[in-house]
Chain A
Amino acid sequence: MSVTVYVPGDAAALALGADEVAAAIATAAAQRGLKLRIVRNGSRGLFWLEPLVEVATAQGRIAYGPVTAADVPGLFAADFTAGGKHRLRLGDIAAVPYLARQQRVTMHRVGVIDPLSLSDYRAHGGGKGLEIARSLAPAEIVRMVTDSGLRGRGGAAFPTGIKWKTVLDTASAQKYIVCNADEGDSGTFADRMLMEGDPFCLIEGMAIAGLAVGADKGYIYVRSEYPHAIAALNAALDNAGGWLGDFRIEVRKGAGAYVCGEETALLESIEGKRGIVRSKPPLPAISGLFGRPTVINNVITLASVPDILAQGAAYYRDFGVGRSRGTLPFQLAGNVKYGGLIEVPFGCTLRELLYDYGGGSRSGRPLRAVQVGGPLGAYLPESQFDTVLDYEAFAAVGAVLGHGGIVAFDDTVDMARQARYAMKFCAIESCGKCTPCRIGSTRGVEVIDRIRAGATEQIPLLRDLCDTMTAGSLCAMGGMTPYPVLSALNHFPEDFQ
């Protein structure tokens, strides 16, 4: 009988040598005349253990990690294909506390299944949501999504059901489903992991959205920095056969512009234009891609839908706190010992993620500042680490959850420099449509440079500039750059002296 070995094909595992490990395992097996099937699964998201190799045995899957190509002969000598003893043996990875304490809902198949096999997907519960959706009226599908309490995971946290209802209620012969897979925020990688590790889940979510609003065409706009995700989606679509019925999906590659994550800039980009933000109204739900009613949602938003259909709205809504329902795949990054993907219901605290999961800093020095929500998110000081992770609690301390990216810095960080970086990033990535963002960010860099050179009397000027950007910008690029800048200034004033 042939043995099945799982070696992740996830981009993070590849960056740590997974291809070399897979090749070494294949070669060693051939030399031994051992029949072996290597599955390139996604990542479980415990990155300090990648490449994480798993073997299917009679006692279940046994994990070894982190494995290098040089470890492979030793693993064979230890009979790892039968789950043998070895210093890298971790046993059942699902029982490791980091994973066991999570509640994986949206990401539950990532790292488990063969991402490109539709039958494996179905064997792990995939496809049920679409089947149920096919038996429902569009309004009933929209109702379930509304009742689940699902809010957009791309950043703005807008209720998904309400967006879908607008598209459903807008008459048009052609409508579109657009998936925002631009994931430009530093510290975020959940979209990438889902697309690489469980692409059928996103595809199913889009097909359900199509049934819900009456759209037969979908686009997935993926950033060019994610070639592996693009390849996985295209391969999955090739393998989908007739599963999607009349619904067609096309993958579009972005071209390195952060602002194309903004939904209207993204639509312009798919249309073949410069990705410049459109003023609203009209909302994309009414006049979106090529002027047609369009649902535009983040990857995780759409990938949450199949489970909501399959398990019921209440199942999903029962996770979470307050108005933040369900789970969020948090992404723990930066200077932490155990960085990775942590999917838990809303309601735990930042400190729990940083210390109970993350194990504190990688450098061994105290953590000093944590940026949550990407480059437009606020920096939180230690005194705010007990903030509960839900949309409202973060808003209450002047911060945002955004896409759930958490980036930790130790005490060597210079917060005036981080503030400068935020302004600089805005200057580089601004679409240029409005003056406060286009010019303000450039002036912002200059003012911070002067402050850092000792001109502290210019701090009020910096605050004025931030006010102008907040009030005068058309989109969150210019409108939210003041979050990292002002939070740095307010919580870490000593770095500006």
Chain B
Amino acid sequence: MNTTLNTIFARHQHRDGALLPILHDIQHELGYVPDEAVPLIARALNLSRAEVHGVITYYHHFRRTPPDRHVVHVCCAEACQANGSEALANHAAARLQQGDIAMEPVYCLGLCSIGPAIQIDETTLHARVTPEKFDALIAALGEQS
């Protein structure tokens, strides 16, 4: 972990307001921001631990524990609601109850004309997602691994 962190610090330390870029890179590399990283970040940026902790916990995007194998973000905002995202989210929650796929709400992916929308592992986007389509996407994730 320390080598990873030092590389990341070296990449960003000189920037004004480097904390968010550093946290993003740590989460990108490790999947989350471990509590053990907090004092190291604090030292690198000459901040207090409380400040760093405060920032990590303020933003919805940062996680302090390793994520599940897959994370599915289901849009729960108004335009997707108008096309049945609530039923989809309920279906998804039930479908993912066991297993190592996490469902998290997201408030708008910018696909509001073609909802309900979901994003898988922050990489792929899917529109007009019905429960059947959702199940097929989840099944395809299983096959990949």
A-B interaction: yes
Q: Which residues of A contact B (CB under 8 A)?
A: 11-12, 14-16, 47, 50, 183-189, 192, 224-227, 250, 252-258, 269-275, 290, 331-336, 339-340, 362, 371, 375, 405, 407-410, 413, 418, 421, 425, 429
Whether B127 pairs with A16 at a CB distance below 8 angstroms is: yes
Q: Are A47 and B113 in contact (CB under 8 A)?
A: yes
Residues of B within 8 A of A47 (CB): 113-114
Residue pair B78, A334 in contact (C-beta under 8 Å): yes
Contact A258 B82 (CB under 8 A): no
- The answer on a CB contact under 8 Å between A253 and B21 is yes
Q: Which of B23, B59, B78 contacts A186 (CB 8 A)?
A: B78
- Listed from nearest, the 6 A-B pairs whose CB atoms lie closest are A339-B113, A272-B19, A333-B112, A255-B59, A186-B77, A256-B61
Flag if B17 contacts A421 (CB, 8 Å).
no
Choose, from B1-9, B88-96, B103-111, the stretch at the interface: B103-111
User: Does B60 sit within 8 A of A, measured CB to CB?
Assistant: yes
Which partner residue on chain A sits nearest B56 by CB separation?
A: A255
In the assembled complex, the Cα of A255 lies from the Cα of B57 at a distance in Å of: 11
A375 near B77: Cβ-Cβ < 8 Å: yes
Distance from B11 Cβ to chain A, minimum over Cβ atoms (Å): 13
Query: A253-B24, A255-B23, A270-B17 known; A192 and B78 CB under 8 Å?
Result: no
With both chains docked as a complex, state the minimum distance between the C-beta of A377 and any C-beta of chain B, in angstroms.
10
Q: Are B107 and A186 in contact (CB under 8 A)?
A: yes
Q: Which of A186, A227, A255, A256 is B112 in contact with, Cβ under 8 Å? A: A186
Chain A nearest CB: distance from B38 CB in Å? 14
A-B contacts, 18 listed (Cβ < 8 Å): A11-B109, A12-B114, A15-B111, A15-B114, A185-B108, A186-B112, A187-B79, A225-B109, A226-B110, A255-B20, A256-B106, A257-B60, A272-B18, A273-B55, A334-B78, A375-B107, A407-B112, A409-B82
From A15, A273, A335, A421, contact of B127 by CB (8 A):
A15
- Rounded to whole angstroms, the CA-CA distance of A301 and B16 in the bound complex is 25
A275 contacts B113, C-beta separation under 8 Å = no
- Could you say which of B55, B107, B113 contacts A336, with CB atoms under 8 Å apart? B113
CB-CB nearest in chain B for A225: B109
Task: Identify which of B79, B106, B110 contacts A192 (C-beta below 8 A).
Answer: B110
B83 touches A334 (CB 8 A): yes
Chain B, residues 67-79, CB within 8 Å of chain A (1/0): the string is 0000000000111
B117 contacts partner chain A, Cβ-Cβ < 8 Å: yes
Residue of B nearest to A14 (CB): B125
Q: How large is the interface on B (under 10, 10 to 19, 20 to 34, 35 or more residues)?
A: 35 or more
Contact between B20 and A272, CB atoms less than 8 A apart: yes
Number of A-B contacts (CB under 8 A): 147
Asked if A188 and B112 make an inter-chain contact with CB atoms under 8 angstroms apart, the answer reads yes
Least Cβ–Cβ distance between A291 and chain B, in angstroms: 11
Taking CB as reference atom, which chain B residue is nearest A363? B83
Q: Is the CB of B113 within 8 A of A332?
A: yes
Taking CB as reference atom, which chain B residue is nearest A259? B58
Q: How far is the CB of A250 from chain B (nearest CB, A)?
A: 8
Q: Which of B17, B107, B125, B127 contacts A272 (CB 8 A)?
A: B17
Complex Cα distance, B37 from A234, in Å, reads: 28
Contacts of B62 in A (CB 8 A): 255
Residues on B with beta carbons closer than 8 Å to the beta carbon of A407: 78-79, 82, 112
Other than A50-B114, A407-B78, give 4 A-B pairs with Cβ distance below 8 A. Answer: A272-B45, A275-B59, A290-B17, A332-B113
Q: Is the CB of B49 closer than 8 A to any CB of chain A?
A: no
**Using Cβ atoms and an 8 Å threshold, which residues of chain B touch A272?**
17-20, 45, 55
Bound Cα distance A227, B28 (Å): 13
Contact A335 B82 (CB under 8 A): yes
Task: Assess whether A15 is in contact with B126, with CB atoms less than 8 Å apart.
Answer: yes
Counting chain B CB atoms within 10 Å of each CB, the highest count among A192, A339, A413 belongs to A339
Within 8 A of A (CB), among B12-34: 15-21, 23-24
In the complex, A192→B113 CA distance in Å? 13
Return the chain B residue nearest A431 by Cβ: B58
B130 at the interface (CB under 8 A from A): no
Instruction: Specify which chain A residues have a CB less than 8 angstroms from the CB of B125 in the assembled complex.
Output: 11-12, 14-15
B110-139 interface (Cβ within 8 A of A)? 110-115, 117, 119, 122-128
**B107 cross-chain contacts in A, Cβ below 8 A:** 184, 186, 258, 375, 425, 429
Closest to A374 in B: B78
Measured CB to CB, the nearest residue on chain A to B52 is: A272
Q: Kindly state whether residue B54 has any CB partner on chain A within 8 Å.
A: yes
Given A11-B111, A186-B112, A339-B112 in contact, is the A257-B18 Cβ separation under 8 Å? no
